[in-house]
Protein backbone atom coordinates (compact mmCIF):
# COMPACT_ATOMS: atom_id res chain seq x y z
CA UNK A 1 0.00 0.00 0.00
CA UNK A 2 1.35 3.45 -0.90
CA UNK A 3 2.49 5.51 2.10
CA UNK A 4 1.38 8.98 3.06
CA UNK A 5 2.60 11.37 0.37
CA UNK A 6 4.79 14.05 1.88
CA UNK A 7 6.56 16.92 0.15
CA UNK A 8 9.51 18.64 1.85
CA UNK A 9 10.14 22.26 0.94
CA UNK A 10 13.46 23.59 2.20
CA UNK A 11 14.34 27.26 2.59
CA UNK A 12 17.76 28.48 3.68
CA UNK A 13 21.25 27.23 4.30
CA UNK A 14 23.15 23.96 3.80
CA UNK A 15 22.28 22.95 7.35
CA UNK A 16 18.57 23.15 6.52
CA UNK A 17 19.12 21.11 3.35
CA UNK A 18 20.95 18.51 5.39
CA UNK A 19 18.20 18.50 8.06
CA UNK A 20 15.63 17.86 5.32
CA UNK A 21 17.68 14.86 4.17
CA UNK A 22 17.55 13.43 7.73
CA UNK A 23 13.83 14.18 7.92
CA UNK A 24 13.22 12.42 4.59
CA UNK A 25 15.15 9.40 5.92
CA UNK A 26 13.14 9.41 9.14
CA UNK A 27 9.81 9.55 7.31
CA UNK A 28 10.70 7.10 4.54
CA UNK A 29 11.48 4.19 6.85
CA UNK A 30 8.22 4.76 8.68
CA UNK A 31 6.14 4.38 5.56
CA UNK A 32 6.07 7.98 4.35
CA UNK A 33 6.38 8.49 0.61
CA UNK A 34 8.49 11.56 -0.18
CA UNK A 35 7.26 13.24 -3.37
CA UNK A 36 9.13 15.89 -5.30
CA UNK A 37 6.08 17.99 -6.23
CA UNK A 38 3.90 19.81 -3.72
CA UNK A 39 0.90 19.21 -6.01
CA UNK A 40 1.13 15.43 -5.41
CA UNK A 41 1.37 15.62 -1.64
CA UNK A 42 -1.21 15.33 1.10
CA UNK A 43 1.28 16.75 3.62
CA UNK A 44 3.72 19.58 2.96
CA UNK A 45 6.52 20.21 5.44
CA UNK A 46 8.25 23.60 5.17
CA UNK A 47 11.74 23.58 6.64
CA UNK A 48 12.13 27.27 7.35
CA UNK A 49 14.94 29.77 7.74
CA UNK A 50 14.74 32.73 10.11
CA UNK A 51 18.05 34.39 9.32
CA UNK A 52 16.43 37.07 7.16
CA UNK A 53 12.98 38.62 7.14
CA UNK A 54 12.57 37.74 3.44
CA UNK A 55 12.97 34.00 4.19
CA UNK A 56 10.44 34.26 7.01
CA UNK A 57 7.93 36.05 4.76
CA UNK A 58 8.42 33.40 2.08
CA UNK A 59 7.50 30.55 4.44
CA UNK A 60 4.20 32.18 5.43
CA UNK A 61 3.50 33.29 1.84
CA UNK A 62 3.96 29.76 0.50
CA UNK A 63 1.72 28.29 3.19
CA UNK A 64 -1.11 30.68 2.24
CA UNK A 65 -0.60 29.92 -1.45
CA UNK A 66 -0.80 26.15 -0.91
CA UNK A 67 -3.79 26.50 1.42
CA UNK A 68 -5.70 28.52 -1.22
CA UNK A 69 -4.88 26.22 -4.12
CA UNK A 70 -5.13 22.86 -2.31
CA UNK A 71 -7.85 22.87 0.34
CA UNK A 72 -7.63 19.80 2.55
CA UNK A 73 -3.85 19.41 2.58
CA UNK A 74 -1.96 19.58 5.87
CA UNK A 75 0.84 22.13 6.06
CA UNK A 76 3.54 21.60 8.67
CA UNK A 77 6.33 23.92 9.80
CA UNK A 78 9.79 23.07 11.09
CA UNK A 79 13.26 24.67 11.05
CA UNK A 80 14.40 27.97 12.49
CA UNK A 81 10.93 29.51 12.84
CA UNK A 82 9.47 26.57 14.76
CA UNK A 83 10.79 27.68 18.15
CA UNK A 84 10.02 31.39 17.79
CA UNK A 85 7.83 32.41 20.74
CA UNK A 86 6.94 35.77 19.18
CA UNK A 87 5.49 33.97 16.14
CA UNK A 88 3.55 31.34 18.08
CA UNK A 89 0.11 32.82 17.27
CA UNK A 90 0.89 33.42 13.59
CA UNK A 91 2.31 29.89 13.21
CA UNK A 92 -0.76 28.32 14.86
CA UNK A 93 -3.06 30.33 12.58
CA UNK A 94 -1.16 29.39 9.40
CA UNK A 95 0.11 25.83 9.89
CA UNK A 96 -1.61 22.61 10.95
CA UNK A 97 1.37 21.50 13.03
CA UNK A 98 4.87 22.68 13.91
CA UNK A 99 7.84 20.92 15.47
CA UNK A 100 11.51 21.63 16.18
CA UNK A 101 13.65 19.65 13.77
CA UNK A 102 15.07 17.40 16.50
CA UNK A 103 11.55 16.57 17.71
CA UNK A 104 10.72 14.30 14.77
CA UNK A 105 9.01 11.86 17.12
CA UNK A 106 6.28 14.49 17.61
CA UNK A 107 5.85 14.70 13.86
CA UNK A 108 5.60 10.90 13.70
CA UNK A 109 2.72 11.01 16.20
CA UNK A 110 0.97 13.79 14.27
CA UNK A 111 1.23 11.77 11.06
CA UNK A 112 -0.01 8.64 12.81
CA UNK A 113 3.18 6.65 12.25
CA UNK A 114 3.04 4.02 14.97
CA UNK A 115 5.73 1.54 14.02
CA UNK A 116 8.76 3.26 15.58
CA UNK A 117 11.93 1.38 14.76
CA UNK A 118 14.53 3.95 15.76
CA UNK A 119 16.05 4.19 19.21
CA UNK A 120 14.19 7.20 20.58
CA UNK A 121 15.83 10.58 20.05
CA UNK A 122 16.99 11.85 23.47
CA UNK A 123 19.09 14.99 22.90
CA UNK A 124 16.85 16.60 20.32
CA UNK A 125 19.54 19.11 19.32
CA UNK A 126 21.98 16.55 17.97
CA UNK A 127 20.72 12.95 18.13
CA UNK A 128 18.58 13.38 15.01
CA UNK A 129 21.81 13.79 13.00
CA UNK A 130 22.31 10.06 13.53
CA UNK A 131 19.29 9.24 11.36
CA UNK A 132 20.16 7.65 8.01
CA UNK A 133 19.46 10.42 5.51
CA UNK A 134 18.00 10.29 2.01
CA UNK A 135 20.86 12.24 0.41
CA UNK A 136 19.79 14.70 -2.23
CA UNK A 137 23.15 14.15 -3.93
CA UNK A 138 25.31 11.08 -3.26
CA UNK A 139 28.30 12.43 -5.21
CA UNK A 140 28.49 15.68 -3.25
CA UNK A 141 27.10 15.04 0.20
CA UNK A 142 26.65 17.14 3.32
CA UNK A 143 27.72 15.50 6.57
CA UNK A 144 26.54 17.46 9.61
CA UNK A 145 29.02 17.38 12.49
CA UNK A 146 26.98 19.32 15.01
CA UNK A 147 24.18 21.74 15.58
CA UNK A 148 23.68 25.04 17.39
CA UNK A 149 25.93 27.96 18.21
CA UNK A 150 27.31 29.59 21.37
CA UNK A 151 28.50 32.82 19.82
CA UNK A 152 25.46 35.07 20.04
CA UNK A 153 26.47 37.52 17.35
CA UNK A 154 24.19 40.45 18.08
CA UNK A 155 22.28 40.25 14.76
CA UNK A 156 21.86 36.47 14.57
CA UNK A 157 18.88 34.35 15.51
CA UNK A 158 20.62 30.97 15.17
CA UNK A 159 21.61 30.46 18.85
CA UNK A 160 17.97 31.09 19.82
CA UNK A 161 16.53 28.96 17.03
CA UNK A 162 18.96 26.02 17.24
CA UNK A 163 20.24 26.27 20.80
CA UNK A 164 23.75 25.82 22.16
CA UNK A 165 26.48 23.88 20.32
CA UNK A 166 26.12 20.10 20.38
CA UNK A 167 28.57 17.89 18.54
CA UNK A 168 28.23 14.46 16.97
CA UNK A 169 30.73 11.85 18.17
CA UNK A 170 33.68 11.62 15.77
CA UNK A 171 33.16 7.85 15.23
CA UNK A 172 29.67 8.51 13.93
CA UNK A 173 30.91 11.17 11.48
CA UNK A 174 33.76 8.96 10.25
CA UNK A 175 31.39 6.01 9.76
CA UNK A 176 28.99 8.15 7.74
CA UNK A 177 31.85 9.48 5.59
CA UNK A 178 33.27 5.99 5.05
CA UNK A 179 29.87 4.70 3.92
CA UNK A 180 29.41 7.60 1.52
CA UNK A 181 32.85 7.08 0.00
CA UNK A 182 32.20 3.37 -0.45
CA UNK A 183 29.08 4.34 -2.45
CA UNK A 184 31.04 6.64 -4.78
CA UNK A 185 30.78 9.98 -2.98
CA UNK A 186 33.44 12.40 -4.33
CA UNK A 187 32.97 15.43 -2.15
CA UNK A 188 32.09 15.52 1.52
CA UNK A 189 31.15 18.87 3.01
CA UNK A 190 31.25 18.90 6.80
CA UNK A 191 28.65 21.33 8.05
CA UNK A 192 27.66 23.04 11.28
CA UNK A 193 27.09 26.65 12.31
CA UNK A 194 30.69 26.89 13.49
CA UNK A 195 32.63 23.78 12.43
CA UNK A 196 35.99 24.88 13.73
CA UNK A 197 34.87 24.94 17.35
CA UNK A 198 34.15 21.17 17.05
CA UNK A 199 34.99 19.20 20.18
CA UNK A 200 34.10 15.59 20.78
CA UNK A 201 35.54 12.16 21.44
CA UNK A 202 36.83 9.23 19.46
CA UNK A 203 36.72 5.66 20.73
CA UNK A 204 40.19 4.12 20.61
CA UNK A 205 41.80 1.03 22.14
CA UNK A 206 42.97 3.25 24.99
CA UNK A 207 39.50 4.61 25.65
CA UNK A 208 37.84 7.86 24.65
CA UNK A 209 40.22 10.45 23.21
CA UNK A 210 39.34 14.10 22.68
CA UNK A 211 39.01 15.21 19.05
CA UNK A 212 39.02 18.78 17.77
CA UNK A 213 38.22 19.88 14.23
CA UNK A 214 41.83 19.53 13.03
CA UNK A 215 42.02 15.97 14.27
CA UNK A 216 38.66 15.15 12.72
CA UNK A 217 39.89 16.48 9.36
CA UNK A 218 43.08 14.41 9.59
CA UNK A 219 41.09 11.27 10.40
CA UNK A 220 38.80 11.83 7.42
CA UNK A 221 41.75 12.67 5.17
CA UNK A 222 43.30 9.30 6.04
CA UNK A 223 40.26 7.33 4.81
CA UNK A 224 41.05 5.44 1.61
CA UNK A 225 39.34 6.62 -1.57
CA UNK A 226 39.32 9.33 -4.18
CA UNK A 227 37.36 12.22 -2.69
CA UNK A 228 37.59 15.84 -1.56
CA UNK A 229 36.72 17.35 1.82
CA UNK A 230 35.19 20.79 2.31
CA UNK A 231 33.63 22.43 5.34
CA UNK A 232 31.34 25.33 6.23
CA UNK A 233 31.12 27.53 8.07
CA UNK A 234 33.94 28.84 10.24
CA UNK A 235 34.35 31.56 12.82
CA UNK A 236 37.57 33.64 12.71
CA UNK A 237 38.07 33.32 16.48
CA UNK A 238 38.37 29.52 16.14
CA UNK A 239 40.71 29.38 13.15
CA UNK A 240 43.95 28.47 14.90
CA UNK A 241 47.48 27.62 13.71
CA UNK A 242 46.78 23.89 14.04
CA UNK A 243 43.79 24.03 11.70
CA UNK A 244 45.70 26.17 9.18
CA UNK A 245 48.53 23.64 9.17
CA UNK A 246 46.07 20.75 8.79
CA UNK A 247 44.46 22.35 5.74
CA UNK A 248 47.84 22.93 4.13
CA UNK A 249 48.95 19.34 4.88
CA UNK A 250 45.92 17.21 4.08
CA UNK A 251 45.67 16.22 0.44
CA UNK A 252 41.92 15.66 0.40
CA UNK A 253 41.04 18.89 2.21
CA UNK A 254 40.33 21.55 -0.43
CA UNK A 255 42.21 24.86 -0.61
CA UNK A 256 39.13 26.97 -0.03
CA UNK A 257 38.42 28.89 3.15
CA UNK A 258 35.03 30.46 3.75
CA UNK A 259 35.63 32.78 6.68
CA UNK A 260 32.76 35.18 7.42
CA UNK A 261 34.11 38.65 8.27
CA UNK A 262 30.64 40.28 8.45
CA UNK A 263 32.10 43.83 8.56
CA UNK A 264 35.34 45.69 7.89
CA UNK A 265 35.16 48.11 10.80
CA UNK A 266 36.28 47.38 14.37
CA UNK A 267 33.51 49.35 16.05
CA UNK A 268 30.83 47.56 14.00
CA UNK A 269 32.48 44.20 14.74
CA UNK A 270 32.45 45.01 18.45
CA UNK A 271 28.73 45.82 18.29
CA UNK A 272 28.15 42.64 16.31
CA UNK A 273 29.85 40.72 19.17
CA UNK A 274 32.20 39.05 16.71
CA UNK A 275 35.19 38.82 19.12
CA UNK A 276 37.97 39.79 16.66
CA UNK A 277 39.39 42.91 15.04
CA UNK A 278 40.04 43.58 11.38
CA UNK A 279 43.78 43.39 12.03
CA UNK A 280 43.33 39.91 13.48
CA UNK A 281 41.15 38.83 10.54
CA UNK A 282 43.65 40.07 7.93
CA UNK A 283 46.47 38.44 9.84
CA UNK A 284 44.62 35.09 9.80
CA UNK A 285 44.18 35.24 6.05
CA UNK A 286 47.88 36.10 5.55
CA UNK A 287 48.92 33.18 7.75
CA UNK A 288 46.52 30.83 5.97
CA UNK A 289 47.86 31.81 2.53
CA UNK A 290 51.47 31.61 3.74
CA UNK A 291 50.88 28.07 5.04
CA UNK A 292 49.99 26.94 1.51
CA UNK A 293 52.93 28.77 -0.06
CA UNK A 294 55.21 26.88 2.34
CA UNK A 295 53.44 23.52 2.06
CA UNK A 296 55.52 20.86 0.31
CA UNK A 297 52.38 19.32 -1.14
CA UNK A 298 50.32 22.36 -2.07
CA UNK A 299 52.76 25.20 -2.72
CA UNK A 300 51.73 25.55 -6.38
CA UNK A 301 48.03 24.88 -5.90
CA UNK A 302 45.61 27.83 -6.16
CA UNK A 303 43.78 28.87 -2.99
CA UNK A 304 40.53 30.78 -2.50
CA UNK A 305 39.06 32.84 0.31
CA UNK A 306 35.39 33.78 0.44
CA UNK A 307 33.39 35.63 3.06
CA UNK A 308 30.02 36.96 4.25
CA UNK A 309 29.47 40.68 4.77
CA UNK A 310 26.48 42.59 6.14
CA UNK A 311 25.77 46.11 4.92
CA UNK A 312 23.63 48.66 6.76
CA UNK A 313 24.10 47.32 10.30
CA UNK A 314 22.45 49.73 12.82
CA UNK A 315 24.28 53.09 12.82
CA UNK A 316 26.79 51.96 10.17
CA UNK A 317 28.27 55.24 8.96
CA UNK A 318 29.55 55.81 5.44
CA UNK A 319 33.13 55.75 6.69
CA UNK A 320 32.49 52.40 8.37
CA UNK A 321 31.11 50.99 5.13
CA UNK A 322 34.22 52.38 3.39
CA UNK A 323 36.27 50.34 5.86
CA UNK A 324 34.42 47.24 4.66
CA UNK A 325 35.40 48.11 1.09
CA UNK A 326 38.99 48.55 2.26
CA UNK A 327 38.91 45.06 3.78
CA UNK A 328 37.61 43.61 0.50
CA UNK A 329 40.43 45.30 -1.43
CA UNK A 330 43.07 44.29 1.12
CA UNK A 331 42.10 40.61 1.34
CA UNK A 332 41.04 40.21 -2.31
CA UNK A 333 38.20 37.79 -1.74
CA UNK A 334 37.28 35.33 -4.48
CA UNK A 335 33.62 35.80 -3.61
CA UNK A 336 31.59 37.78 -1.08
CA UNK A 337 28.08 36.79 -0.02
CA UNK A 338 26.56 40.10 0.99
CA UNK A 339 23.35 40.71 2.90
CA UNK A 340 21.44 43.85 3.79
CA UNK A 341 20.91 43.95 7.54
CA UNK A 342 17.39 43.11 8.72
CA UNK A 343 16.54 43.00 12.44
CA UNK A 344 15.72 39.55 13.83
CA UNK A 345 13.34 39.47 16.79
CA UNK A 346 14.91 38.44 20.08
CA UNK A 347 18.48 39.32 19.09
CA UNK A 348 20.54 41.99 20.87
CA UNK A 349 20.67 44.20 17.77
CA UNK A 350 16.91 44.08 17.26
CA UNK A 351 16.36 46.73 19.95
CA UNK A 352 18.71 49.20 18.22
CA UNK A 353 17.19 51.51 15.64
CA UNK A 354 17.45 50.01 12.14
CA UNK A 355 18.52 53.46 11.03
CA UNK A 356 20.31 52.94 7.72
CA UNK A 357 17.53 53.55 5.17
CA UNK A 358 16.79 50.69 2.75
CA UNK A 359 17.81 52.83 -0.25
CA UNK A 360 21.20 53.42 1.37
CA UNK A 361 21.60 49.69 2.20
CA UNK A 362 20.90 48.86 -1.45
CA UNK A 363 23.37 51.50 -2.60
CA UNK A 364 26.11 50.12 -0.35
CA UNK A 365 25.39 46.56 -1.44
CA UNK A 366 25.65 47.59 -5.10
CA UNK A 367 29.00 49.33 -4.53
CA UNK A 368 30.27 46.29 -2.64
CA UNK A 369 29.17 43.88 -5.36
CA UNK A 370 30.84 45.97 -8.07
CA UNK A 371 34.10 45.98 -6.11
CA UNK A 372 33.93 42.22 -5.53
CA UNK A 373 33.30 41.56 -9.24
CA UNK A 374 36.40 43.53 -10.25
CA UNK A 375 38.60 41.64 -7.79
CA UNK A 376 37.08 38.23 -8.57
CA UNK A 377 37.63 38.70 -12.31
CA UNK A 378 41.30 39.57 -11.80
CA UNK A 379 41.76 36.48 -9.59
CA UNK A 380 40.03 34.20 -12.10
CA UNK A 381 42.02 35.57 -15.03
CA UNK A 382 45.16 34.30 -13.30
CA UNK A 383 43.72 30.76 -13.61
CA UNK A 384 43.82 30.88 -17.43
CA UNK A 385 46.40 28.44 -18.80
CA UNK A 386 46.56 26.32 -15.62
CA UNK A 387 45.66 22.62 -15.64
CA UNK A 388 43.57 21.73 -12.60
CA UNK A 389 41.56 18.79 -11.29
CA UNK A 390 37.83 19.28 -11.72
CA UNK A 391 34.93 17.33 -10.27
CA UNK A 392 32.21 17.07 -12.93
CA UNK A 393 28.89 17.86 -11.34
CA UNK A 394 26.32 17.79 -14.15
CA UNK A 395 24.91 19.62 -17.16
CA UNK A 396 23.42 23.11 -17.22
CA UNK A 397 20.34 24.20 -19.19
CA UNK A 398 22.51 24.77 -22.28
CA UNK A 399 23.52 21.08 -22.06
CA UNK A 400 27.08 22.10 -21.17
CA UNK A 401 28.89 19.97 -18.62
CA UNK A 402 30.16 21.85 -15.62
CA UNK A 403 32.16 21.08 -12.54
CA UNK A 404 34.03 22.52 -9.60
CA UNK A 405 37.67 23.16 -8.89
CA UNK A 406 39.16 22.42 -5.49
CA UNK A 407 38.87 26.17 -4.84
CA UNK A 408 35.11 25.81 -5.34
CA UNK A 409 35.00 27.71 -8.62
CA UNK A 410 32.39 26.71 -11.13
CA UNK A 411 33.93 25.65 -14.42
CA UNK A 412 32.06 25.18 -17.70
CA UNK A 413 33.60 22.34 -19.68
CA UNK A 414 33.88 23.24 -23.35
CA UNK A 415 33.77 20.84 -26.29
CA UNK A 416 35.29 17.50 -25.56
CA UNK A 417 35.52 14.45 -27.83
CA UNK A 418 33.92 12.16 -25.24
CA UNK A 419 31.37 13.67 -22.88
CA UNK A 420 32.70 13.66 -19.31
CA UNK A 421 30.96 11.58 -16.66
CA UNK A 422 29.23 13.34 -13.80
CA UNK A 423 30.74 12.45 -10.46
CA UNK A 424 34.23 11.83 -11.88
CA UNK A 425 37.46 13.81 -11.63
CA UNK A 426 39.21 15.16 -14.74
CA UNK A 427 42.18 17.40 -15.39
CA UNK A 428 41.06 20.48 -17.29
CA UNK A 429 42.99 23.33 -18.87
CA UNK A 430 41.44 26.69 -17.99
CA UNK A 431 40.86 28.69 -21.18
CA UNK A 432 38.67 31.61 -20.08
CA UNK A 433 37.58 33.44 -16.95
CA UNK A 434 34.55 35.41 -15.83
CA UNK A 435 33.86 37.05 -12.46
CA UNK A 436 32.44 33.97 -10.81
CA UNK A 437 33.16 31.13 -13.21
CA UNK A 438 35.82 29.63 -15.43
CA UNK A 439 35.75 27.79 -18.74
CA UNK A 440 38.02 24.86 -19.45
CA UNK A 441 38.77 21.92 -21.70
CA UNK A 442 39.20 18.43 -20.36
CA UNK A 443 42.64 16.95 -20.87
CA UNK A 444 42.25 13.57 -19.18
CA UNK A 445 40.79 11.83 -16.13
CA UNK A 446 42.50 13.38 -13.12
CA UNK A 447 45.44 11.62 -11.55
CA UNK A 448 44.37 12.27 -7.92
Residues in 232-291 that interact with ligand SF4 by CB under 6 A: 235
Rg of the chain over CA atoms, in angstroms?
23
**Which residue's CB is nearer to ligand SF4, number 45 or number 272?**
272
If one asks whether residue 193 binds ligand SF4 (CB under 6 A), the answer comes out as yes
Query: Is the separation of the CB atoms in 265 and 312 below 8 Å?
Result: no
Among candidate residues 156, 151, 155, 103, the one with its CA nearest the CA of residue 126: 103
Q: Which is nearer to ligand SF4, 273 or 437 (CB)?
A: 273
Q: How far is the CB of 158 from ligand SF4 (least distance, A)?
A: 4
Give the integer Cα–Cα distance in Å for 334 and 329. 11
Of 38, 49, 156, 211, the residue at the interface with ligand SF4 (CB under 6 A) is 156
- How far apart are alpha carbons 25 and 12 in whole angstroms? 19
If the CB atoms of residues 194 and 200 are measured against ligand SF4, the closer one turns out to be 194
Pairing of strands 401-405, 146-147: unpaired
97-116 residues near ligand SF4, rule: CB under 6 A:
none
User: Residue 269 — φ and ψ, nearest 5°?
Assistant: -60, -40
Among 98, 194, 303, 335, binds ligand SF4 (CB under 6 A): 194
Q: Count other Cβ atoms within 10 Å, centred on residue 433.
A: 21
Query: Smaller CB distance to ligand SF4: residue 235 or 361?
Result: 235
- Beta-strand ranges (E) seen in 341-446 are 387-395, 401-405, 410-413, 425-433, 437-445
Beta strands 401-405; 410-413: pairing state: antiparallel
When binding is defined by CB under 6 A, the residue of 6, 49, 87, 153 that contacts ligand SF4 is 153
Shortest spacing between CB 193 and ligand SF4, in angstroms: 4
Are 63 and 95 within 8 A, CB to CB?
yes
**Sole binder of ligand SF4 in the list 149, 268, 269, 442 (CB under 6 A):** 149
Instruction: Tell me how far, at minimum, the Cβ of 319 lies from ligand SF4, in Å.
Output: 24
Stretch that binds ligand SF4, among 149-157, 240-248, 327-335, 400-408 (CB under 6 A): 149-157
Of 76-84, 134-142, 146-154, 439-447, which segment contacts ligand SF4 by CB under 6 A?
Answer: 146-154
339 or 367: CB nearest ligand SF4: 339
d(Cα 6, Cα 69) in Å, to the nearest integer? 17
Nearer to ligand SF4, 273 or 295 (CB): 273
CA 309 to CA 328: how far, in whole Å? 10
By rule CB under 6 A, what count of residues binds ligand SF4? Answer: 10
The residue range among 151-159, 182-190, 223-231, 236-244 that interacts with ligand SF4, by the rule CB under 6 A, is 151-159
Bridge partners (DSSP) of residue 210 are 201
Kindly provide the b/e burial profile for residues 104-115, where b requires at least 16 CB atoms within 10 angstroms of the residue's own CB.
bbbbbeebebee
The residue from 152, 267, 293, 448 that contacts ligand SF4 (CB under 6 A) is 152
CB 102 within 8 A of CB 127: yes
**CB 152, min distance to ligand SF4, A:** 6
Counting contacts by CB under 6 A, is residue 146 touching ligand SF4?
Answer: no
- Binding of residue 158 to ligand SF4 (CB under 6 A): yes
Among residues 152 and 337, whose Cβ is nearest to ligand SF4? 152
Closest separation in Å from C-beta 364 to ligand SF4? 20
In whole angstroms, the minimum distance from the beta carbon of 155 to ligand SF4 comes to: 7
Q: How far apart are CA 391 and CA 188, in angstroms?
A: 12
Q: From CA 101, how far away is CA 103, in angstroms rounded?
A: 5
Q: Among residues 144, 146, 159, 312, which is the contact residue for ligand SF4, using CB under 6 A?
A: 159
Task: Considering only the stretches 121-129, 155-163, 316-324, 393-401, report the one whose residues sit in contact with ligand SF4 under the rule CB under 6 A.
Answer: 155-163
From the list 256, 258, 338, 332, the residue with the least C-alpha distance to 292 is 256
Least Cβ distance, residue 281 to ligand SF4 (angstroms): 14
Closer by beta carbon to ligand SF4, 149 or else 433: 149
Distance CA 268, CA 261 (A): 11
Per CB under 6 A, the segment of 137-145, 153-161, 409-417, 428-436 that binds ligand SF4 is 153-161
One residue of 151, 277, 295, 338 binding ligand SF4 per CB under 6 A? 151
Q: Which is nearer to ligand SF4, 154 or 380 (CB)?
A: 154
Half-sphere exposure of 166 (CA within 13 A, CB side): 14
Distances (CA, A) of 149 to 125, 152, 408: 11, 7, 25
- The contact set with ligand SF4 (CB under 6 A) reads 149, 151-153, 156, 158-159, 193-194, 235
Amino acid sequence: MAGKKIHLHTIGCQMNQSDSERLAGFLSVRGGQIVSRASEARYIIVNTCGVRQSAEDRAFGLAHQWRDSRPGIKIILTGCLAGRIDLRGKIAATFDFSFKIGDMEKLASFLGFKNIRFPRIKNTNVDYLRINPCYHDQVRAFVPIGNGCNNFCSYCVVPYARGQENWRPADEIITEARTLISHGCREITLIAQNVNSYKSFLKTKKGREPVDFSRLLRRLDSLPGNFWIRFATSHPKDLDAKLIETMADCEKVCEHLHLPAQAGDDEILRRMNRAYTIEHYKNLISRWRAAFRHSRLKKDWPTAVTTDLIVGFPSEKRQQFTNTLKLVRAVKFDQVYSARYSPRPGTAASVWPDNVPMAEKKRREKILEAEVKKIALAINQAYVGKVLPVLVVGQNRHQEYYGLTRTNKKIILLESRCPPRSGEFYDARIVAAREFSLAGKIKKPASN
